[in-house]
Amino acid sequence: MKFGIYHLNYNLDRAALAILEKKYETEISILSFYRAWNNCKIEDDLPWLSWLLSAPKEILLTWEPWSINSEFGVLEKQPHFSLINITAGAFDTYIRAFASTLAACPKAILLRPMHEMNGSWYPWGGTVNNNTPEEFLKAWNHIRTLFFEVGASNVKWVWSPYTSSYPDTQENRICNYFPGDDQIDMIALDGYNWGASTEWSKWHSFVDLFRDGYDIVTSLSRKPVIIGEVGCTELGGEKPDWISDMFSILPSRFERIEALIWFDINKECDWRIASSASSMRIFKSRSHIFLASCASCPIK
């Protein structure tokens, strides 16, 4: 199994990465990055992409059709970025230019567009912004077609639902968003243990968090599975035990998971591995043993 990280640091060159690996005492194989479409101008992206494509590790790039500085106030309500508009070609020039830039990269790029589509917090979600799951599938296929038209064969398509659907309705089931094995190269599941950090959340073990979503996606597809985002709060339980249990249960209960990417920032909660000395200590002790034992399980 491979370990990856989102660290909110766009200067992770080889020297900086070596420092980070020394800090966590584990090899980092995948670097996770996010890019919003914002003004949909490739000129805005090029300096960042130039650096990104020279990153010293595998890249998981989450590509988000929205503006993170929305004039509408509510981020998931951005009519301009509705799925219907994407499929209708409103952003084709930008998508083609972005695809052409990625196509020039000599290595494979794991591209994760429109992730967590079964949630209600992004404007591409299937139950918000006048969208539907059917429109998600059309938009997915439209974007993918444009990439193939410009020859971006090095892009690997990562379909990435949240591990539970919000709202939890028949219309919003994970399976309703599945494009088919011929339209994806990999599946990524996201999940967070919010614990007691909010009035609506409670403590969930790693198994509680990922069991149902994992069972659904592995029944839908034979493609490789990764954890695209995971984090755990310190509030409401014992985070060191949570991390230890995660490493213990992964090989037996989640045997098809080939990589895990930790969301290593202090955002809605302090998701960081190093949110406490005890959490950091148990991660270093368990990850070193676990990842070494899984060294023969590369992403295909």
Which among 229, 234, 238, 255 is annotated as catalytic? 229
**Is 116 a catalytic site residue?**
yes
CA 63 to CA 31: how far, in whole Å? 14
Which among 64, 76, 116, 234 is annotated as catalytic? 116
| CA 103 vs CA 17, 37, 89, 156: distances in Å | 25, 18, 20, 11
Report helix angle 14-24 to 277-293, nearest 10.
100
DSSP, residue by residue, 248-268: HHHHHH-TTEEEEEEE-SBSS
CA atoms in the 13 A half-sphere facing the CB of 108? 11
Write out the two tokens for 50: 């130039």
Write out the two tokens for 277: 């000395």
CA 18 to CA 20: how far, in whole Å? 5
Write out the two tokens for 31: 């670097």
CA 171 to CA 201: how far, in whole Å? 23
CA 263 to CA 192: how far, in whole Å? 9
CA 193 to CA 73: how far, in whole Å? 27
Please list the alpha-helical segments (H only) found in 14-132. Answer: 14-24, 42-52, 83-88, 92-103
Residues known to be catalytic: 116, 229
